[in-house]
Structure 1
Amino acid sequence: MTKHRFSAVIFDLDGVITQTALVHSTAWKEMFDTYLKFREEKYGEPFKEFSHTDDYLPYVDGKPRYKGVASFLESRGIDIPFGDPSDLPEAETVCGLGNRKNLTFNEILDRDGVKLYDSTVELIHDLKKEGIRIGVASSSKNCKTVLEAAGLLELFETRVDGAVSAELGLQGKPEPDIFTTACDNLGVEYAASVVVEDAVSGVQAGRKGNFGLVLGVAREENSHELLVNGADIAVDDIAELGGIEGIDRWFENGLEQDRWSIVYHDYDPEKEKSREALLAVGNGYFGTRGAMEETSAGKVNYPGTYMAGMFNRRISKVADRDIENEDFVNCPNWLPVSFRIGEGAWMDPNRFRVVQIQRRLSFRDGLLFREMIVEDEGWRQTKITSYRVASMEDQHVAVLKYTVQPLNYVGRISIRAELDGDLINDGVARYRQLDQHHLEPVEEGGDGQVQYLLVKTNQSGVEIGLACRMRILIDQAEQEVGMKHHTSRGKVASELVAKLAEGQALTVEKLVSIYTSRESGEGMALRQAREKLDQLDGFRQVHAGSAGVWNEIWKKADIQVEGDRFAQKLLRMHAYHLMVTASEHNKKLDAGIPARGLHGEAYRGHIFWDELYILNFYALHFPDIVKSVLMYRYRRIGEARKYAKEYGYEGAMYPWQSGSDGREETQIVHLNPVSGEWGDDYSSLQRHVSLAIAYNIWNYYWITMDDTFMAAEGGEMLLEICRFWASKAIWDEETERYSIPKVMGPDEFHEHLPGADEGGLKDNAYTNLMVAWLFGKVTAYLESVPGEKMGPILKKINLSGEEIDRWKDIKSRLTLHISEEGIIAQFDAYFGLQELDWDHYLEKYGNIHRMDRILKAEGKSPDDYKVAKQADTLMAWYNLGTDEVASLLSGLGYEADRATLRPNFNYYIQRTSHGSTLSRIVHASLANELGLGDLAWEFYMEALSSDYVDIQGGTTAEGIHAGVMGSTLLFVIQSIAGIQFRDEVLSVNPALPAGWKKISFNFAFRKKYYTFDVFREKMTISVDAPDDQLVEIKISGRIHGLVPGRKLDVAY
């Protein structure tokens, strides 16, 4: 053991240890220029010389020799045979050219010898003295020869080079194989290892390998490029690192900061809108996208602020038809701040040259930080620093701190700060044909260093009031600076001017308060916003108060992972964005959880069934938030009853899309953009949303034991949902079973049977199983509680014993269609659909996640094929588990083992395109349950990283995916730690993934508070329980007793 927090350092060779990178570059140039001149003479192709900057660095540097040849030739549009590694240097093949380059390299090496980077060699010797393991990993097949020539070979305990890679079949950079193999050879963990690289492909490999530190050595003055591509630290030379102490500092401080944040080192216009969603700040009352203060809505950027439950309805004329839509309102923008030099242009990152940029969102305290250097047309460089917080302490408060600093000039700088309510909804391109104008101006103005704005939604009539007080500082000294206020329709802009010397810093703090008439009352929103300003001292006060509340949140919600920095980062990112979307403040609000968070306008901010994936995590940590979300549904039970009655049903039929008042917001017609004709839209037939609500009610009750809620609002919703499903169930005399027609399952691709004139399917298996489950839970509950407990609710809704008896009958006689192979048909007649040629479509399109769109573009219909967007039948196992599903099958009169999870999983996974992020987490959970660890991990990491890498090609720009975020957190507790909550006694069967050393978390279950530390072969558990009663827990099948206040250590 060493005294350090890292165990090994793996060095690249060329450009890190030896100065052979330039030798390689020279050899490549000599070989390629000769070959390109040959092609000019033979094929008449114009000669363009091989360039170090334009060709060597992007196409060749760091890659295996033959891969480098192929990469460069492809960039020039040259296609020659690959050949064989045994090809002579004269051969016109990829291998022949690679061998020709190697011959040239060796000639130069023999002539000039090997030059070393002394600082690297010194560090290697220091590491050896401290007992740190040392390895070298290089794409070069000349690695051994070079090290021998330099007299360094004996310093390295392992060498994984081009020759070893060829022998073992390792992939080259940017894949991490050579580095992971080096670590494996040394017997060290990747998380405790350092990769040192000078090539972009090398730091990309380091990032992919999830190493503890990726150190980039910027020999080409390319530190920015190395940071963008995966380096944690970039230095021009190893000497700048500060030796072993510098590495220790990273593992003690830098790595911890990395686990609590996301960082971007570049400004990429194509990715900016997605990053704005991921850099959002918020507190559950409002969320603000992470757009830079100087930007406005356009092709590249989209600032947006969204308030929980803030909707507005408009009627649009589309193709001669009036279409009504309710939208999630893009509320006034409190961010805008910009500057200009003299009478020059106002700073816009899309017009100025971005010299350097770093943006960091800290999950720990909700602080968004930016440091940026920009250059205008006059080569004047200005440093911008900004900090931003949406207060988690006070839901009505936000603050930002914006500093500009001239770096190479003296000049007069103007700063302009705005409150902007002159906005439309324009965040989703496919909605642009609709009327997106929701705000009307009421009042705007400025006085001294205060500005204010009042707008009103033009249909729902909600007033939104904002007030802002600005503090002006020069070099941290507060100034009384006169400001000029300019008002226009729905906007106020305030300007100040200051003359700054080179290096002098001008800071503007914007202290902002936001209120609406929903909580303030008519005519009071702006008044309360202005009064709130008197309570705010400055940025530091607001940040500190908010950080304190975040600290309390993390005490409950944090899932700590040792051994996987990437997973740790993303788990915290997911928990952070969930809390931005719904926090303790929601207890005072009337709002559900939008499927895309408070982060964008996708799905118009409506509430779907996604809460099924979200609320269990909340229930274990923040049950009051779950209750507030369920109360949102309860307050709309009247509309659900009305909706059911409209279609001839009883009870409460909740809408597929819910917004302000609980009516169905889903369109029942859609316009075909190709034909220009209107057709039926059947997506509202996804009646299973009511089952998701019932599922959430039951799980909330089961986890919290909130009998009061169950005997009132929760019970009433459950009973009315049961009543609805009973009214949909139809008795079939021929089969002597009940069927449920006119529904769609979670799949979404199938709306009706081929050739059918009406929408909907019969006997969707997921629906029928969940209905049977619901009837079973509710009737058993009614039988188990005293009559006086539920009597008032039964009386209130006039529920008779005959109705309950019918529920029991339906529960035992619903229809499923099960094949001889034990496959439960997704719906009646499913087995008669055509099979899809998946190989053909994969080869033709590559990305086939949205097979429905591909088929429709070919003039076909997904209704005709056995193809699913996401898990459908399998959702029953995901929700209920194998034992519960087996019990339901038995209760329905089918043999319990006739249709088990494994054959159904194997059948449906082959027919699913995973067009939803939710599909991956369902399949990950079920694969884990089946013991398919590698497949489970693959699906899980796709789900966990889906928003971070924007796996669906731009959808994150329109808002985060709250469902997958909630479910990936729950996966760690339920699937990795193996904790099941279906019985009163917790069952624990952990199985940590490779590389994970430990996970720690806590939660409350049935009025007991548990704390878990799960290691690879043992765990430590403690519990706080009422009356200090002994608590039973089942670990790997054995019952243990937990004494409150004492820790239990158990091997598993």
Structure 2
Amino acid sequence: MIHREKGSALSKLADANKVSWSLDRFDALLFDLDGVLTPTVDLHKKAWKRLFDAVLPADVPPYRDEDYFMYVDGKPRYDGVRSLLQSRGVELPAGEPSDSPDARTICGLGNRKNDEFEELLHEQGIEPYGDVVDLLRHLTAAGKRLAVVSSSRNAREVLFTAGILKYFDQVVDGNVRAAQRLRGKPEPDTYQYAAGVLGVPYDRAIVLEDALSGVASGRAGGFGLVVGVDRGAGAQPLFEAGADIVINQLGELLGGIRPQAAEVAAGLNADTDPLDPNRYPVEAWGFTEQGAPSAESATLFSLSNGTIGVRGESGGPRCLGSGTFLSGFHETFAIRHAEEAYGFAKVGQVVQGVPDTQDFSFTVDGVELRSPGCVGQSLDFRSGVLTRRYRYDLDENVHLEVKVETMTCLARADLLATRLTIRAVGGDMTVHLESRANGDKPVVSRATDPRKADMIADGGLARLEMDALTQNDDHEAYGAYHCKNSGLTMALGFSQQADGRPVGQVCDLEVHDGSDVVVVRYSSYNSLPLSPVGVRSGLEARSDGVVDSVELVKRCSATLGWAQRQGFDGLETAQRQWLDDFWDRADVQVDAHGDDGRTQQIIRWELFELAQATATVPNGISAKGLSGTGYSGHYFWDTEGFILPFLTYTQPERARQALSFRYRMLPAARKRAAVMSMDGALFPWRTINGEEASAFFEAGTAQYHIDADIAYAVCQYVGATGDHEFLASEGIDILVETARMWASLGCVGGDGAFHINTVTGPDEYSALVDDNYYTNVMAKFNLNRAADALDSLTPQERKDAVERLTVA
């Protein structure tokens, strides 16, 4: 760490305490993004080079790497274009922000550079610098307010992709700068605005910058400390620009954090409540988040009806991997093993995001409002409606308020309803609303966590040509899509009305001061249920039934007509009736002393999640429902171990549907058993379409206990409901075929006992062991209950089962 020779706030602190310095005198840290938190500078450098290599005239000096720091780093995009061109004596008209990337204007070239950057971001992804997360955790534990101040309009997307958006209280990006009409760096406006939004005096805030213009911005703003982060600009130029200290790594700041805070960050002596009641108030029948969302918010506030799943607000971009999902709708890919071997899984599966109709953008006076001043969201357990609230500050006393209410309809599985209430405060305004279905591709993920989704480079969603049905009229739109590898097909239709009159996906709304305009959108998604018997050949999955995309679109159209007749209020009434019936049967009331009702709230949140994840069961139930891409959307033993016991006693018809899905998976399970040289059926450890999808044998196929887990769920369901018809028609097949697998997997040892060797138990920490206790006990249960079940059948039922299953 290098200090400014004199006049440095930090150097005075260091002189007072030669061992360490403290951040106690500062309340907030304001970070630049590019080059400080993330190495997006490399992507920006490549994007600028692509741009200027293509557009600079041949008779001027070409673009060089050092030009980045000299002319464009830290500046708003259009200013960077202008600065570089001026250095080459090239003049172009300014143009407008709406200019095409092909336009020969300052704005046109700036937009082209943005396109180049976004393409690189989606291709390569981004991760924070190595010490960033550790520092942010410590700062958060120390109670510091954090903000990002960036000239980039892509700042939120970059932070979201890097996985660090959740640490920041505010993001002041290029969109905020434009909306608030702030001057860009090296002027101090954006940093001063960020401090003001955080409610922190300038002299109580630290600015961290790697760009000379950004350091100058911090110095001009009168901030308490300006930290230069040397990522290539050089220490001396950073000092000359106004830095108090210069560091090479953010980790050098950790020495200034009090030891108590470090202990909290490390999880030592911490008694803080992750559900801060000021942010997450205690409610008996709801869950509310006040303030800006975190990355986890999208899952916590997700909605589903078992067929459609929609993620809540996370502050990051919505796209095909972070928006809307359909039950069973997935893409496939060839699993690449480091070394192929017989019996290894061949076909991977991952839930495929579908076009999302919850992405709305607002423009007022030509300025797109992409960063709201405040955000909050709440989930009502009694209505199943998610309410999101946004406020966009247009001027000191002028702002736009938007309330978005969403429900995945429990009374109609293929319907999603959304109502926007738009209010002008402080003056009349014309609001330009764009609400197209978002089919943006997800950014590349480099995560190695197996709980996160696999990324498919050569698959994904493709739109089918259906010109005749793509647009019915001005307020209804339709489309059909299929997965490139799995071949699964889905259709989407949506309609929109403003104050009861039809409007298109793009419309202008006249909103008067203090008045509301109400926009209602209905979205219908249709796909066919899976046939869970694995793939046909190659990577192609199978659906139940033969229906073309035109028929799926027609189904969407019929649903939209029905929804318009019901109206949003009518749908909400039906939703409440459905949930009233659910709570009458399933509510669990607790009296936990001393927690002011928090335990009751958490239990009801859990019950609500179970209710919405199983409101319909067209396919299997994945470990994370339809809340996102976690675990790639796979079904595990979670269904039988955790979900079915609840359904068996509260909604037995749903339990039977889930077990019937396993029954329909038997052909694939028999095939898998044969591959593994066993009799009977071996169910896949993780799957969507019935094909084993686990590429890691030791924690996948080796968990043979899944056969007994499914058998246990069958017995529990039949025992609780007395559904003998299910046992005779489907359950007995599952019990017998899984029992056969155990008989062939184990062997009688020299001690005369039956042993099952080389298996992995449910804890997954001790892989490939002999005689795992849980596995042995469950296998014994499975074998005994299969024999008991055969004995319980009527003579005719037993005769049919013996013939069907060739039981000796």
Tell me, yes or no, if the aligned pair for 2:346 and 2:693 is still in contact at 8 Å: no
Quickly say closer, same or farther: Cα 1:72–1:787, change in 2 above 3 A: closer
Tell me, yes or no, if the aligned pair for 2:325 and 2:626 is still in contact at 8 Å: yes
Deviation at 1:424, TM superposition (A): 5.0
What aligned pairs does 1:813-962 form with structure 2 within 5 A after superposition? Answer: none
1:705 aligns with 2:712: no
Deviation at 1:359, TM superposition (A): 1.1
Aligned counterpart in structure 1 of residue 547 of structure 2, from 521, 533, 537: 521
Greater Cα shift, 535-544 or 315-324: 315-324
1:264 aligns with 2:264: no
What aligned pairs does 1:250-329 form with structure 2 within 5 A after superposition? Answer: 258-268=283-293, 271-272=294-295, 274-291=296-313, 296-297=317-318, 303-315=322-334, 324-329=347-352
* Residue identity in the other structure for 2:773: A
1:598 aligns with 2:626: yes
Could you tell me the TM-score, scaled by structure 1's length?
Answer: 0.47
1:566 aligns with 2:582: no
1:403 aligns with 2:421: yes
| Alignment partners' CA distance in 2, 1:50 and 1:797 | 74
Tell me, yes or no, if the aligned pair for 1:472 and 1:508 is still in contact at 8 Å: yes
Aligned length: 535
Tell me, yes or no, if the aligned pair for 2:703 and 2:759 is still in contact at 8 Å: yes
Tell me, yes or no, if the aligned pair for 1:425 and 1:437 is still in contact at 8 Å: no
| Alignment partners' CA distance in 1, 2:614 and 2:279 | 33
Report the equivalent of 2:79.
Answer: none
Report the equivalent of 1:744.
Answer: 760
Deviation at 1:480, TM superposition (A): 5.7
Report the equivalent of 2:684.
Answer: 655
Give CA deviations for 1:736-755 in whole Å, capped at 9, x if unaligned: 2221123111121222xxxx
Report the equivalent of 1:118.
Answer: none
What aligned pairs does 1:157-176 form with structure 2 within 5 A after superposition? Answer: none
Aligned counterpart in structure 1 of residue 711 of structure 2, from 694, 705, 716: 694
| Alignment partners' CA distance in 1, 2:323 and 2:582 | 25
Give CA deviations for 1:350-397 in whole Å, capped at 9, x if unaligned: xx252x333110111110012222225888521111111111011111
Q: Secondary structure at the match of 1:561?
A: coil
Q: List alignment gaps of at least 5 residues for structure 2.
A: 1-9, 30-138, 145-259, 262-269, 530-544
1:685 aligns with 2:702: yes
Aligned counterpart in structure 2 of residue 639 of structure 1, from 650, 668, 682: 668
Deviation at 1:704, TM superposition (A): 0.6
1:626 aligns with 2:652: no
Tell me, yes or no, if the aligned pair for 1:402 and 1:509 is still in contact at 8 Å: yes
Tell me, yes or no, if the aligned pair for 1:277 and 1:289 is still in contact at 8 Å: yes
Give CA deviations for 1:954-998 in whole Å, capped at 9, x if unaligned: xxxxxxxxxxxxxxxxxxxxxxxxxxxxxxxxxxxxxxxxxxxxx
| Alignment partners' CA distance in 2, 1:505 and 1:549 | 30
Report the equivalent of 1:336.
Answer: 359
Tell me, yes or no, if the aligned pair for 1:427 and 1:600 is still in contact at 8 Å: no
Tell me, yes or no, if the aligned pair for 1:283 and 1:392 is still in contact at 8 Å: yes
Give CA deviations for 1:521-577 in whole Å, capped at 9, x if unaligned: 213111111122222232212222222212212221211224561121111111111
Aligned counterpart in structure 2 of residue 617 of structure 1, from 639, 646, 664: 646
Report the equivalent of 2:737.
Answer: 720
* Residue identity in the other structure for 2:511: L
Q: Secondary structure at the match of 2:605?
A: helix
| Alignment partners' CA distance in 1, 2:143 and 2:589 | 44
Larger CA Rg, structure 1 vs 2: 1
Quickly say closer, same or farther: Cα 1:407–1:724, change in 2 above 3 A: same
Deviation at 1:229, TM superposition (A): 4.5
| Alignment partners' CA distance in 1, 2:24 and 2:287 | 37
Quickly say closer, same or farther: Cα 1:508–1:735, change in 2 above 3 A: same
Q: Secondary structure at the match of 1:314?
A: strand
* Residue identity in the other structure for 1:577: E
Tell me, yes or no, if the aligned pair for 2:399 and 2:425 is still in contact at 8 Å: yes
1:577 aligns with 2:609: yes
| Alignment partners' CA distance in 2, 1:317 and 1:38 | 58
Give CA deviations for 1:477-511 in whole Å, capped at 9, x if unaligned: x4465x4xxxxxxxxxx211133333232321101
Aligned counterpart in structure 1 of residue 511 of structure 2, from 497, 500, 506: 500
Quickly say closer, same or farther: Cα 1:42–1:557, change in 2 above 3 A: closer
Tell me, yes or no, if the aligned pair for 1:287 and 1:580 is still in contact at 8 Å: no
Deviation at 1:793, TM superposition (A): 0.5
| Alignment partners' CA distance in 2, 1:695 and 1:46 | 60
For CA contacts below 8 A with separation 6 or more, give which structure has more relative contact order: 2
* Residue identity in the other structure for 1:289: R
* Residue identity in the other structure for 1:621: T
Give CA deviations for 1:901-930 in whole Å, capped at 9, x if unaligned: xxxxxxxxxxxxxxxxxxxxxxxxxxxxxx
Tell me, yes or no, if the aligned pair for 1:426 and 1:436 is still in contact at 8 Å: no
Q: Secondary structure at the match of 1:701?
A: helix
What aligned pairs does 1:952-991 form with structure 2 within 5 A after superposition? Answer: none
| Alignment partners' CA distance in 2, 1:768 and 1:205 | 41
Q: Secondary structure at the match of 2:431?
A: strand
Greater Cα shift, 560-569 or 386-395: 560-569
Tell me, yes or no, if the aligned pair for 1:517 and 1:524 is still in contact at 8 Å: no
* Residue identity in the other structure for 2:634: H
* Residue identity in the other structure for 2:694: T
Tell me, yes or no, if the aligned pair for 2:323 and 2:353 is still in contact at 8 Å: yes
Quickly say closer, same or farther: Cα 1:681–1:435, change in 2 above 3 A: farther
| Alignment partners' CA distance in 2, 1:422 and 1:54 | 35
| Alignment partners' CA distance in 1, 2:420 and 2:675 | 55
Give CA deviations for 1:449-489 in whole Å, capped at 9, x if unaligned: 2222221222333321111111102xxxx4465x4xxxxxx
Q: Secondary structure at the match of 2:563?
A: coil
What aligned pairs does 1:368-407 form with structure 2 within 5 A after superposition? Answer: 368-376=386-394, 380-407=398-425
Quickly say closer, same or farther: Cα 1:365–1:745, change in 2 above 3 A: same
Quickly say closer, same or farther: Cα 1:790–1:412, change in 2 above 3 A: same
Quickly say closer, same or farther: Cα 1:317–1:422, change in 2 above 3 A: farther
Tell me, yes or no, if the aligned pair for 1:697 and 1:714 is still in contact at 8 Å: yes
Quickly say closer, same or farther: Cα 1:43–1:663, change in 2 above 3 A: closer
| Alignment partners' CA distance in 1, 2:692 and 2:786 | 26
Greater Cα shift, 773-782 or 605-614: 773-782
Quickly say closer, same or farther: Cα 1:316–1:405, change in 2 above 3 A: farther
Give CA deviations for 1:768-814 in whole Å, capped at 9, x if unaligned: 111122222333344455443422112211111xxxxxxxxxxxxxx
Q: Percent identity?
A: 20
Give CA deviations for 1:627-656 in whole Å, capped at 9, x if unaligned: 111111111111111111122211111111
* Residue identity in the other structure for 1:700: Y
Tell me, yes or no, if the aligned pair for 2:330 and 2:488 is still in contact at 8 Å: no
| Alignment partners' CA distance in 2, 1:429 and 1:574 | 27
Deviation at 1:336, TM superposition (A): 1.6
* Residue identity in the other structure for 1:267: A
Could you tell me the TM-score, scaled by structure 2's length?
Answer: 0.60
| Alignment partners' CA distance in 1, 2:478 and 2:606 | 34
| Alignment partners' CA distance in 2, 1:267 and 1:314 | 37
Q: Secondary structure at the match of 2:435?
A: strand
| Alignment partners' CA distance in 2, 1:480 and 1:603 | 40
* Residue identity in the other structure for 2:635: I
Deviation at 1:73, TM superposition (A): 14
| Alignment partners' CA distance in 2, 1:259 and 1:315 | 47
Q: Secondary structure at the match of 1:536?
A: helix
Q: List alignment gaps of at least 5 residues for structure 1.
A: 1-35, 56-70, 77-171, 174-203, 211-225, 233-254, 484-493, 669-679, 752-759, 801-1052
Deviation at 1:610, TM superposition (A): 1.0
Aligned counterpart in structure 1 of residue 578 of structure 2, from 544, 549, 559: 549
* Residue identity in the other structure for 1:307: L
